[in-house]
């Protein structure tokens, strides 16, 4: 059995996504993805992110900040999309929002699984540099 290394901490590949310290951050990303079908789960997710943000280590704090921003930015873009749906462009905005939202969650989960912080949690796009 080989010992694969990932991330700056050198955490072994076996560390995985659902280690105890990462479990709640992973749950928030999954609640966000579930909100595509069951909208209320994103509200639960942002509440969890706010609750755990203060006590998290620096790496997880970047994920919680990224998740909180994802919620508020998606709320803003969704509101604009709904307002403009009557003239057609709103549907394109909502489609963009869906793609953007899934991509942010996937990128966040990837970084979390690797034990890495979100490089730019204040980003309006995908949190990458």
Would you write out the chain's pLDDT as a tens digit for each of its 129 residues? 333 334 444 343 345 556 777 889 999 999 999 999 998 999 999 999 999 998 889 999 999 999 999 999 999 999 999 999 989 899 999 999 999 999 999 999 999 988 899 998 878 677 666
Crossing angle of helices 58-84 and 89-113, in 10° steps, is 170
Look up tokens 């604009």; give the residue. 80
User: What pLDDT sits at residue 127?
Assistant: 67
Q: ∠ at Cα 100 (75, 74), nearest 5°? A: 5
Q: Is 65 part of a structural domain of the chain?
A: yes
For residue 2, what pLDDT is reported? Answer: 35
Question: How many structural domains comprise the chain?
Answer: 1
99 domain residue, yes or no: yes
In a domain, 123, yes or no: no
**Does residue 5 lie within any of the structural domains?**
no
Domain holding 71, by residue range, is: 18-113
> Is 119 inside any structural domain?
no
Does any domain span residue 118? no
* 12: helix, strand or coil: strand
What is the value of pTM for the model shown?
A: 0.81
Among 42, 38, 27, residue whose Cα is nearest residue 108: 27
Please say whether the beta carbons of 65 and 122 come within 8 A: yes
Position 122 in a domain: no
What local confidence, expressed as pLDDT, does residue 18 receive? Answer: 65
For residue 9, tell me if it sits in a domain: no
């Amino acid at each position: 059995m080989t010992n694969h290394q990932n991330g700056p901490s050198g955490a072994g590949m076996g560390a995985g996504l659902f280690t105890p310290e990462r479990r709640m951050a992973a749950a928030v990303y999954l609640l966000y993805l579930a909100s595509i079908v069951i909208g209320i789960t994103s509200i639960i997710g942002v509440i969890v992110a706010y609750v755990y943000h203060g006590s998290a280590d620096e790496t997880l704090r970047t994920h919680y900040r990224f998740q909180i921003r994802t919620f508020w930015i998606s709320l803003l873009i969704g509101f604009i999309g709904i307002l403009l749906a009557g003239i057609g462009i709103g549907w394109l905005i909502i489609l963009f929002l869906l793609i953007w939202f899934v991509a942010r969650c996937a990128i966040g989960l990837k970084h979390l699984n690797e034990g890495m912080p979100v490089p730019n949690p204040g980003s309006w796009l995908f949190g990458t540099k």
